[in-house]
Amino acid sequence: MRQEVVTVTAVLDDLVIDDLVATDLARARELAPVASPVLVWADSGRGARPGASPDVPPGARMVDLGAVEEFPLPGVEIEQLVAMLGSVPVADVSGAALVNGVAAWQQVLNMAQAAQAEWVRELEARTPDALRHVPDELSCALVTTRRSAETLLLRAWGAAQHPVLADAWAGGEVDARKVDVILDELGRAGQALSGIEVASVVADAVDRAGTMTGPQLTRHVRAALIAADPAVAEQRRVAERERRGVFLELAPDAMARLIAYLPAAEATAAFTAIDALAGNAGADGDSRTVDQRRADAFADVFTSTLDRQATPDGTPLPTRHGQRVALQVSVAATTLLGLDDAPGHLGSYGPIPAQAARELAQDATWRRVLTDPDTGQVCSVGTRAYRPGADLTRTVQARDVTCTFPGCRQPATRCELDHRIPYDVTRSASDQVHDPQTCEANLHALCKHHHQAKTDGWWTVTYDRTTGVSSWTDRHGITSARHPVPVLVPPEALHHRPPPAPRADRSDPPF
């Protein structure tokens, strides 16, 4: 396109043209791409002054990595920056150049994330009810959680609503974390402000983002929003109370965090009660710290509730799928007998050490579970006192462990049971006897969200009973696999094979 414009210009410069043609020509010159100068690195930190070199092309832009005080570099393209940094011999430059090089690569990462956001926005624009369906597609493509994919979508969409923020991100001036900080604070308080007030807050935040950490920027934007309209703070307090909840966050070594998001008064009251239950000082011979005593007192409140199957005021706990509320622990009989130390499996958590499984099993009601000896996947569950419907439900829940959509971690005990092949009410009773639809092979656990997405036709699923793999295909024809979750690890899988013998070196060393 640039060559065509230049050619036309050369011809028209010698002609008398009317105002309309002159206007079009001026517009063409304005839109014609301008070549950016090539970036060439130097390193004054090694004692050499950067200057002209026979290898430096005319008009090149010199970047002294040994002296640059801050990034991002203004007015550069990501391709230029990558090409320059890729030509730097990392092992030979000064320490200052290394620090500046890391900052330059961060600018590249910021610009790349902003470019990725453009693709996400285009996918969002083409998808009806995008917030509901696009995160599922991205979570499968990126092999990440739906929550992470949803954050990717909301960040891309939100940045586009504020051109100053989008431009700063595209230029590498802010990273995705600070984009999230600004958008999160605006989401909580910005709706009550005028467009001019919001634009002013965003411009100020972008201007200060390069000199503030994420937490500092959060406090600054929050203060700016409150100052813009103090009444917003009270509106936020009332609205945020609706988001209260309790969340389980898994941690290594058979530990977890239980996070309660509560209004400040209720949270303080709960902590005061736990502190009182723990006592101000340990009893004689009690070596636990105060934090350990508080943790134990907190846990005792809920374990005793499960033991009694009733709330503190005596109200019976509700059942799920006809089953009492309880922990589910899977452990091999050989492990219980102390013949091996194979890990057990705690429902809603995952693998736990053998001794932890033995301790949980001491006061448990036992139920026989059959697993595949090769894969550890549940095959069937023995029955004792449950009606047939409860037996089948228990089998599917034990087999699937979680929702069977790729990446979803909702525990199967809190999921709905869905027919992979939709239930056909028109089939005769005799057909149902010989080929039942409500059977283990045709049932799987799905959380409410993914159950509805399948019902609406956004996804189709097939199941290989031999391998236990569920294959999910989206509207674009892209298929993702959800592999079965073994509840018990086969003992041989815990033993590493010896490394292969070193190959004979038949050549001279490469030096």
Mean pLDDT of 412-420: 87
Region 115-131 average pLDDT = 95
Residues with Cβ within 8 Å of 83's Cβ and at least 6 positions away in sequence, in order, are 39
Q: Residue 368 has what pLDDT?
A: 52
CA proximity to 119, closest of 152, 79, 168, 70: 152
- Return d(Cα 47, Cα 350) in angstroms, integer: 57
Tokens, residue 71: 């990034």
**Is a pLDDT exceeding 60 seen at residue 30?**
no
At residue 178, the pLDDT reads 96
Can you give the pLDDT at residue 429? Answer: 55
Backbone angles phi, psi at 446, to 5 degrees: -135, 135
Beta bridge partners of 351: 345
CA distance 360 to 344: 10
Residue 39 C-alpha from the chain's centroid: 36
Which token pair is 111? 């610009």
- If one compares 244 and 189, the residue with the highest pLDDT of the two is 244
475 phi/psi in degrees, rounded to 5: -65, -20
Mean of the per-residue pLDDT values of the chain: 79
- Cα–Cα distances in Å, from 414 out to 22, 321, 417, 446? 70, 9, 10, 9
Residue 363, pLDDT above cutoff 80? no
* pLDDT reading at 366 higher than 60: no
* Rounded mean pLDDT, 418-433: 69
CA–CA dist 370, 381 (Å, integer): 6
Residues 98-117, mean pLDDT to the nearest whole number: 96
Share of the chain above pLDDT 70, in %: 74
Locate the DSSP E strands across 125-184.
Answer: none
Q: What is the pLDDT of residue 348?
A: 72
Inform me whether the pLDDT recorded for 300 exceeds 90.
Answer: no
The closest of 151, 231, 157, 132 to 191, measured between CA atoms, is 231
Nearest CA among 421, 399, 406 for reference residue 471: 406
Which one is predicted more confidently, 84 or 378?
84
Of the listed ranges 189-193, 228-232, 242-246, 405-409, the least confidently predicted one is: 189-193
Q: What are phi and psi of 470, to 5 degrees?
A: -100, 130
Q: Are 392 and 130 in contact (CB under 8 A)?
A: no
> Which one-letter amino acid corresponds to residue 483?
H
Of the listed ranges 14-23, 33-42, 249-258, 491-500, the least confidently predicted one is 14-23
Residue 487 has a pLDDT of: 64
pLDDT of residue 279 exceeding 80, the answer is no
User: What integer pLDDT is reported at residue 200 of this predicted model?
Assistant: 93
**pLDDT-derived band at 329, boundaries 50, 70, 90:** confident
Cα–Cα distance measured from residue 458 to residue 286, given in angstroms and rounded to the nearest whole number: 58
Instruction: Say which amino acid occupies 220.
Output: H
Specify the pLDDT at position 373: 54
CA angle 289, 290, 294 (to 5 degrees): 120
The residue-averaged pLDDT of 300-324 equals 71
Supply the pLDDT for residue 230: 81
* Widest Cα–Cα separation across the chain: 105
| Residues above pLDDT 90, as percent of the chain | 34
**Contact criterion met (CB below 8 Å) for 193 and 228:** yes
Phi, psi of 248 (to 5 degrees): -100, 120
In total, the chain counts a number of residues equal to: 511
Least confident window among 145-159, 263-277, 331-345: 331-345
Which of these, 203, 194, 196, lies nearest to 221 by C-alpha position? 203
Tell whether the model's pLDDT for residue 202 goes beyond 60. yes
List 35's β-bridge partners, or say none: none
pLDDT of residue 396: 86
Does the pLDDT at position 281 exceed 70? no
- Which whole number is the average pLDDT over 449-458? 92
Listed residue (472, 488, 489, 494) closest to 140, CA to CA: 472
The structural domains of the chain, with segments of one domain joined by +, span 2-31, 129-241, 245-308, 329-425+435-492
Residues 237, 241: Cα–Cα separation, whole Å: 6
Task: Catalogue the E-assigned strands of 222-317.
Answer: 245-251, 255-261
Give the end-to-end CA distance of the chain in Å, rounded to a whole number. Answer: 50
Q: Which residues of 145-157 are buried (b: 16+ CB within 10 A; e: fewer)?
A: ebeebbebbbbbb
CA angle 399, 368, 301 (to 5 degrees): 80
Statement: residue 484 has pLDDT above 50: yes
Residue 387 has pLDDT above 60, yes or no: no
Residue 55 has pLDDT above 70, yes or no: no
Lowest mean pLDDT among 126-130, 273-277, 456-460: 273-277
One-letter amino acid of 166: A
Between 131 and 393, whose confidence is greater?
131
pLDDT confidence of residue 339: 76
Q: What is the mean pLDDT of residues 427-446?
A: 70
| More confident site: 17 or 476 | 476
Comparison of pLDDT for 470 and 16, the residue scoring more: 470
How far is it, in rounded angstroms, from Cα 137 to Cα 286? 53
pLDDT at 84 over 70: yes
- Residue 489 is inside which H or E element, if any? none
pLDDT, residue 410, reads: 87
- What is the Cα Rg of the chain in Å? 31
Q: What are phi and psi of 346, to 5 degrees?
A: -100, 120
Q: What angle do CA 361, 362, 366 make, to 5 degrees?
A: 50
- Average the pLDDT over each of 166-175, 351-360, 379-388 and give the range with the smallest value: 379-388
Amino acid 359: pLDDT: 74
Decide if 293 contacts 305 (C-beta within 8 A): no
Pairwise CA distance, residues 332 & 80, whole Å: 59
Per-residue pLDDT for 60 more than 70? yes
* Helix segments in 421-509, DSSP class H: 429-434, 448-455
Of 488, 482, 457, 455, the closest CA to residue 469 belongs to 482
DSSP state of 44: G
